[in-house]
């Protein structure tokens, strides 16, 4: 049995939706609790970043990108199998 090709527009849509959902689910709540502020400050200090907000942005971008890459591969594989 030959696997079908997924259209490029569908692949772009899948990756965009995965990135957007991951970003909206993982972004920090506002206002942050004191425990969250202490956690992010300690995590930023551990990695040598002085500004916790900058560290949160970098961490969010990195995690969203990784989840998008993995989720994209899995969803396109499943789409081709159907």
Going residue by residue through the chain, which has 82 residues, state the pLDDT in tens, using 9 for 90 and above. 566 677 889 889 999 999 999 999 988 777 888 898 899 999 999 999 999 889 999 999 999 999 999 999 999 888 888 7
Residue indicated by tokens 């591969």: 73
Count structural domains, the chain. Answer: 1
Assigned domain for 45 exists: yes
The answer to the question of residue 58 being in a domain is yes
Owning domain of residue 44: 8-81
Supply 72's token pair. 């994209």
In a domain, 2, yes or no: no
- Sign of the CA dihedral 66, 70, 73, 78? negative
Q: Which residue has the tokens 């594989």?
A: 77
User: Of 81, 79, 20, 32, which is closest to residue 56 (Cα–Cα)?
Assistant: 32
**Contact status, residue 73 vs residue 18, Cβ threshold 8 Å:** no
Note whether residue 31 is domain-resident. yes
């Amino acid at each position: 049995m030959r696997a079908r090709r997924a259209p490029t527009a569908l692949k772009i849509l899948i990756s965009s939706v995965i990135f957007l959902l991951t970003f909206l689910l993982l972004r920090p709540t506002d206002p942050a609790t004191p425990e969250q502020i202490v956690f992010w400050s300690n995590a930023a200090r551990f990695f040598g970043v002085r500004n916790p907000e900058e560290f949160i942005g970098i961490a969010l971008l990195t995690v969203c990108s990784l989840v998008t890459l993995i989720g994209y591969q899995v969803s396109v594989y499943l789409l081709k199998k159907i």
